[in-house]
Amino acid sequence: MSRIKHISIVIILAFLGLIMLLDLNKIPNQFEYANSIYHHITNNAVGETGSLNFVTAILYDYRAYDSMGESTIIFGAVSGIVLLLSRKTLPVSSHGLSFIVKRTYGMLTPFIFLFSVYIIAHGHLSPGGGFQGGVILGAISIIFSIVYGSEFDYKRYTPTTKTLLETSGALLFIGIGLIGIIYSGSFLSNLNILNSEPGSLLSAGSIPFINLGIGFKIGAGLAIIFYSMIQKTFKEEASL
């Protein structure tokens, strides 16, 4: 039985490998891309958008509409998880970890917040951006829940606040898109307000503001996801 299984797996894998090997020939040569969009972006992205980070320039300027779709997917995922996992009862408190851990994270958490804000605000200058900084922002809420117990997190940073932050992030994104219609006639076009030379903090038009909106949206969304998942397990392990 197991031998037949192994032989059939090997046959299927060999078949798939053959198909992929045949498809390798269809990948075009790299020199055919000379006049393509990649060439245009590497030559003109700084002049057109003012962003030194080309990934951010593509994400929030050339295809910002697609990024809005991605953040809508996360919004849908958050809504679905909360719908499936939420309970009517209040979350149960836990005692949290030991004194050493609590005190050290009490000193570290402001710096974690500062780091996430740094990554969000420098999204158009250095690697990072709204998504990455937002994940660190969501980690702060996870640290609160694990280290201090979920009751602490519930009191300091209520689900209403999280929902407010997430919605305002999404509204900031869409609002910048709507201002783009008034300003230059197309949805999510790059506003040229607050535009200094490329490389400074307030450059690149509307990209930093979109980064800010995405960051708060992702951070609050991940916190909501984690928060609606832990309610059951924390009741069972009240003191660890």
Partner 1 sequence: MGLRIIIAYLIMSAAILFAVITAVGLIRFPDVYTRIHASAVVLTMSAVMLSIGVAIYVWEFYLSIKILLVGLIFLITNPLATHAIARASYRRKIAIPQVKSIDEYSGYLSRDQE
Contact residues for partner 1, defined by CB under 8 A: 97-101, 104-105, 108, 240
When the beta carbons of 1 and 100 are compared against partner 1, the nearer one is 100
Please report, as a single letter, which amino acid is at residue 225. Answer: I
| Closest distance to partner 1 from the beta carbon of 222 (Å) | 20
When the beta carbons of 17 and 106 are compared against partner 1, the nearer one is 106
| Closest distance to partner 1 from the beta carbon of 111 (Å) | 8
| Closest distance to partner 1 from the beta carbon of 81 (Å) | 27
**How far, in Å, CA of 18 to CA of 24, rounded?**
10
Size of the chain, expressed as the number of residues it contains:
240
SS3 199: coil
Q: Which two tokens stand for residue 162?
A: 């999280």
When the beta carbons of 2 and 98 are compared against partner 1, the nearer one is 98
| Closest distance to partner 1 from the beta carbon of 148 (Å) | 13
Helices H / strands E in the chain, number of each = 9, 0
When the beta carbons of 36 and 104 are compared against partner 1, the nearer one is 104
| Closest distance to partner 1 from the beta carbon of 166 (Å) | 28
**How far, in Å, CA of 225 to CA of 223, rounded?**
5
When the beta carbons of 32 and 237 are compared against partner 1, the nearer one is 237
Q: Which of 142, 163, 165 is nearest to 215 (CA)?
A: 165
